[in-house]
Amino acid sequence: MSHRFDWKTWTIGHWSWWRVLRILLLSYGTIATYGYFFSDRQMFPAPPPSYRDRPDILKLTTANQQQLSALYLNHPTAQYTVLYSHGNGEDLGKIQPHLTQLNRLGFRVFAYDYRGYGTSQGQPSESAAYEDIQTVYNYLTTQLKTPSHQIILMGRSIGSGPSVYLATQKPVAGLILESAFTSIFRVLVPFPLLPFDKFPNRDRLPQVRCPVLIIHGTQDSIIPFHHGQALYATANQPKTFLPIVDADHNNVSGVGGAQYWQGIQTFQNQLANQQPRKLCQ
């Protein structure tokens, strides 16, 4: 006597396959919904401002009339200006010692706070971060008359996202990525779980045509070291990879010390000696 087989009656212990499938689909839908609607909030947990507006804090206006706070450190003999995009737990007050050291190294330095950070107005998001860095780039090139071939983009952690993006959109001299990720969601899972992503650095890097320096701590507990290695593998030549042995996510310059600063100085020298000068666009 034959019986019609119904795959829904298969069991895993006391659970049917159909029930397991429904749970998996529901879980996936929940993850996808959370990732799509709430990931901006997780990416940009803006800390309380560590500074107040003062005369040296510039105010830049975005296309939708939001004011961004910025800081410009001039240098009388600098050949390059570093456009610096900081991490998601920082603001201009917290990173000023780092900016000062870059300035002492021989760079003009222009840094800014994302919307919702420091004394900048608005709410941060991936799309807003792209608009913010373009606002800063436009200010540099139009108001300060900085030639595009004298601009080096430098992004740390979350700041790598807008920096890589801008390098695909505007001409610049070089790109420095510190403690960067291949993409936001791939920090959580190593494979493309969702049909969308945030700050897809690895997918965009092949479009970047200028010299690239990638710096990463070998003991990074937030964005694992293999992210830096993957970005380096994806980037076009000329490119340089600077691993900082024993450095975690937030102490790369401190652990690296002279090696860290010399790596940036060497990158600057390579740009200056490059003939003809190669821009990202």
Q: pLDDT tens digits, the chain, 281 residues: what are they?
A: 555 555 444 444 555 555 545 555 554 444 545 555 446 677 888 999 999 999 999 999 999 999 999 999 999 999 999 999 999 999 999 999 999 999 999 999 999 999 999 999 999 999 999 999 999 999 999 999 999 999 999 999 999 999 999 999 999 999 999 999 999 876 666 655 554 578 999 999 999 999 999 999 999 999 999 999 999 999 999 999 999 999 999 999 999 999 999 999 999 999 999 844 455 55
- Of these residues, 69, 85, 220, 253, which one is catalytic? 220
Span 224-263, pLDDT tens digits: 999 999 999 999 999 999 999 999 999 999 999 999 999 9
Does 85 participate in catalysis according to the annotation? Answer: no
H or E element in which residue 151 lies: strand 151-156
Q: Are strands 67-73 and 57-61 parallel, antiparallel or unpaired?
A: antiparallel
Domain tally, the chain: 1
Active site residue 157: yes
pLDDT for the residue 272: 93
130 within domain boundaries: yes
Within a domain: residue 6? no
Whose tokens are 């030639």? That residue is 147
pLDDT tens digit sequence for 130-152: 999 999 999 999 999 999 999 99
Determine, yes or no, domain membership for 8. no
> In which domain, by residue range, is 46 found?
16-273
* 281 in any annotated domain: no
Distance, CA of 209 to chain centre: 18
Query: Has residue 247 been placed in a domain?
Result: yes
125, 157, 160, 179: the catalytic one is 157
| Domain assignment of residue 230, yes or no | yes
User: What CATH code is carried by the domain that includes residue 83?
Assistant: 3.40.50.1820
- Does any domain span residue 261? yes
**Type of residue found at 107:** F
Domain contains 204: yes
220 tagged catalytic: yes
Given this model, what pLDDT does residue 172 score? 98
3-state secondary structure 224-254: CHHHHHHHHHHCCCCEEEEEECCCCCCCHHH
Do residues 91 and 70 lie in contact, with contact meaning Cβ atoms separated by under 8 Å? no
For the chain, the C-alpha Rg in angstroms (whole number) is 22
- For 185-213, what is the HEC assignment? HHHHCCCCCCCCCCCCHHHHHHHCCCCEE
pLDDT at site 184: 86
